[in-house]
Structure 1
Amino acid sequence: MQSTEKIACIIVAAGRGSRMSTQNDSSPKQYRDLGGKTVLQRTLEAILASEQVNLVLPVIHPEDGDAYKDAASALSDPRLMAPVMGGATRQASVACGLKALEDDVPDYVLIHDAARPFITPEVIKDAITALQNGAQAALPAVPVADTLKRANANQQVVETVDRSNLWTAQTPQGFPYALIWQAHQCAIRQNIDSFTDDTALIEWQGKAVTITTGDPQNIKLTTLKDMTNAQEQLAMKHLADLGDIRVGTGYDVHAFEEGDAVILGGITIPHTQKLKGHSDADVGLHALTDAIFGALADGDIGSHFPPSDMQWKGAASDQFLKYAIERVHKRGGMVAHLDLTLICESPKIGPHREEMRKQIAQICDLPIGRVAVKATTSEKLGFTGRKEGIAAQACATIRLPFED
């Protein structure tokens, strides 16, 4: 049975993140790029992934309106409320968010750091369950695993600290809305603004805080090293999600006919002849296209672009390769590597190899390091040895999500 309780989540995004500032970049960390999205966008998406959360309220810095608009532009979830402006401290910003919820009072409120983009629905669910079971405050946390040392001002160890029953606090921290709003108002009346997290206000009020399940991956991005680690964490997760690794091969051949240039690997090479074909006869791109279709188990170039269809008469072959790449992306996958071998006596491929690699990489939107172009002769044997045409072999490695 679905709960009828209203649950809001305040995203605290008004900080400046000074510990991550460099000479070249002083932008707030929540608006920095993390794997193609801002940190804040990833955090908002992670919170919105929880079906238990009914309202999401960002609290931002007054100077960050445009940055927030850009960060949230891809999000259309109706649960995402318009942002409110924060205060001079984290505590003051949370109070601004709590006050803004007075017009739409929730039963429970979660308070989450914008710089924790790896929060999971499981951590959120455990905090909410604790509140529903009567907890006055829910604190996701992980037990301290490392040995703790206390040092003096000279950085000399003075004692080893017993780590028993010590926990590393995380967010989102959860509360009955009325209780945490009352605690903040009490602190405001007494001009106290030094609390670094919201459970500290509950402790200050003499009430109990319940530890709930945290997650070691739910890190707060504070330093440049944290950001580097987060980038690596995302990259590893992305590769793990694309664990269906496939390899496809392609082969194509085109004969020579009268002309003055050949189109190979997406570039034009002056020559005494040209290649004969329904399209521009780029034997290299055709082989690569078929290799991708093979890896997808998705027919071949002829089934997608039949020679009988006059719309492809003289067509540039880069559109065939782009289409094959799009088919990979529509399946949620990526192209990991392309390898092309051209077989001919002439023209000489070596002088044009790097230009071909660059062009193929541009067509496929790949780093050039993921594109290989090689050439060989057939030792004057067969039709290629007699200079009657050019053959091409290709191999494509792609990564796809595992299908059910």
Structure 2
Amino acid sequence: MPDQKTIAVIIVAAGIGERMGGGPKQYRPLAGTPVLARTIAAFTARPDVTWVLPVLNPSHTDLYAALNLNGSKLLPAVGGAPTRQGSVLAGLEALAPHRPDLVLIQDAARPLIDDDTISGVLAALGEAALPVLPVTDTIKRSSDGRLAEGTEDRRTLFAAQTPQGFAYPAILDAHRRAASEPTEFTDDAAIAEWAGIPVTLTKGSPRNIKLTHPEDFERAERLLGGRPMETRTGTGYDVHPFEPGDAVWLGGVRIPHTARLKGHSDADAALHALTDALYGALGEGDIGTFFPPSDPHWKGAASSVFLEHAARLVAARGGRIVNLDITIVSEAPKISPHVPTMKAVIAETCGISPARVAIKATTSEKLGFVGRGEGLTSLATATVELPRGDD
């Protein structure tokens, strides 16, 4: 490949990350650095890359601005489309004034992309090049997901990765033509194949994983080989009395009731206990330390704000939440019908899988203030992993 060729990189970051939970995955910290920042840096650091163009979800402009990324190679981000195919086309069109010779198209959710994989794509790039890994599992074919109808020859099957590389004019033309097709193409190599562009396969990397599910973040953390982790546990306790009203907030869910919980915020005792448990695992203070009840700004505030803050502190320390366990003690209202929704709300707020959240409800057998229906209480335990300190 002649040295004078200009190379542009499109970083496709317009997805909403709905399967991950906890907000857009491309902005979540990975070993202390946001995913999108890691992916962009992998390309801006290369001397052979001329421009890097992020394609964003239009609703994520503030999240992107907060990354504070800059550099002579980094072009102003452009808005994407509801589909990946549409977002890539938006990026290709935005590159038209620069007229690059070659373009690499990279998923933002592959932040562990390495120099060898990128160099392999560029070295093989005539009209199109695609990094792949051989499929090692036996692959079954089924039209209904229930009955096996055949076995594929895995010797002919390969798993596609990114970046996928192309001669810029050819892939721009192919994408423009594909935009009018009823078929939605799953990657850019498929569009090249449809357009008759030969695609050369190159060696991918087992490290070049795509972050799709919460467990993918855990695997990526391990692959990055950061500092040894240690397990920390914190506990939280909260109690609120009832006052006249028509609903209580518990676990981030509004539950109709003959009273409401009295407090400066929404008085969500479950989330308060859980927030304090996370602060405890971090060796920090409590809710009052960060959100003092004397501050009118927090009057009536949703307690999910407090929980989200505690979860962000875990991420900022390079840690991860392993498990959250809550016990709610109340005679009424009945909690169990709302547990699945509570788990979903807490998991999304903390950016973890609902499987890592446990919620239990019990009564006080008519004893004490809870038994008299004067209020309720919650207890919580949080287990987190944090990088091991020097102590």
Scaled by the length of structure 1, the TM-score of the pair is 0.55
- What corresponds to 2:55 in structure 1? 59
C-alpha spacing 1:193/1:86, structure 2 compared with 1 (3 Å)? farther
| Residue 155 (structure 2) aligned to one of 164, 183, 196 | 164
- What corresponds to 1:299 in structure 2? none
Q: 1:114, CA displacement in angstroms? A: 0.3
Q: How does 1:314-353 map to 2 (within 5 A)?
A: none
Q: Which has the higher contact order (CA 8 A, sep 6+)?
A: 2
Number of aligned positions between the proteins: 235
Larger radius of gyration: 1
Q: 1:45, CA displacement in angstroms? A: 1.1
- What corresponds to 1:246 in structure 2? none
| Residue 30 (structure 1) aligned to one of 26, 35, 45 | 26
C-alpha spacing 1:238/1:123, structure 2 compared with 1 (3 Å)? farther
2-side partners of 1:129 and 1:368: how far apart?
39
Q: 1:232, CA displacement in angstroms? A: 2.1
User: 4+ residue stretches of structure 1 with deviation over 4 A?
Assistant: 367-372
Letter in 2 for 1:8: A
2-side partners of 1:371 and 1:136: how far apart?
52
Q: Per-residue displacement from partner, 1:127-173 (whole Å, max 9, x unpaired)?
A: 11112xxx221001111112222345353434332101211100000
Q: Is the 8 A contact 1:85 1:96 kept in 2?
A: yes
- What corresponds to 1:243 in structure 2? none
Q: 1:193, CA displacement in angstroms? A: 5.7
Aligned identity (percent) is: 46
Letter in 2 for 1:56: V
Secondary structure of the equivalent of 1:19?
Answer: coil
- What corresponds to 1:87 in structure 2? 81
Q: 1:191, CA displacement in angstroms? A: 4.1
Q: Is the 8 A contact 2:31 2:226 kept in 1?
A: no
2-side partners of 1:2 and 1:186: how far apart?
29
Secondary structure of the equivalent of 1:63?
Answer: helix
2-side partners of 1:170 and 1:162: how far apart?
20
C-alpha spacing 1:368/1:53, structure 2 compared with 1 (3 Å)? closer
| Residue 40 (structure 1) aligned to one of 32, 36, 39 | 36
Q: Is the 8 A contact 2:10 2:91 kept in 1?
A: yes
- What corresponds to 1:352 in structure 2? none
Gapped runs of 5+ residues in structure 2? 229-385
| Residue 180 (structure 1) aligned to one of 147, 166, 171 | 171
- What corresponds to 2:98 in structure 1? 104
C-alpha spacing 1:192/1:8, structure 2 compared with 1 (3 Å)? farther
- What corresponds to 2:223 in structure 1? 233
Q: Per-residue displacement from partner, 1:336-383 (whole Å, max 9, x unpaired)?
A: xxxxxxxxxxxxxxxxxxxxxxxxxxxxxxx797577xxxxxxxxxxx
Q: Is the 8 A contact 1:52 1:125 kept in 2?
A: no
- What corresponds to 1:12 in structure 2? 12
C-alpha spacing 1:180/1:237, structure 2 compared with 1 (3 Å)? same
2-side partners of 1:117 and 1:36: how far apart?
13
Mapped pair 1:136 → 2:127: yes
Gapped runs of 5+ residues in structure 1? 240-366, 373-404
Letter in 1 for 2:16: R
Q: How does 1:182-201 map to 2 (within 5 A)?
A: 182-188=173-179, 190-192=180-182, 194-201=184-191
Secondary structure of the equivalent of 2:52?
Answer: strand
- What corresponds to 1:390 in structure 2? none
- Between 1:101-110 and 1:150-159, the stretch displaced more is 150-159
Q: How does 1:269-348 map to 2 (within 5 A)?
A: none
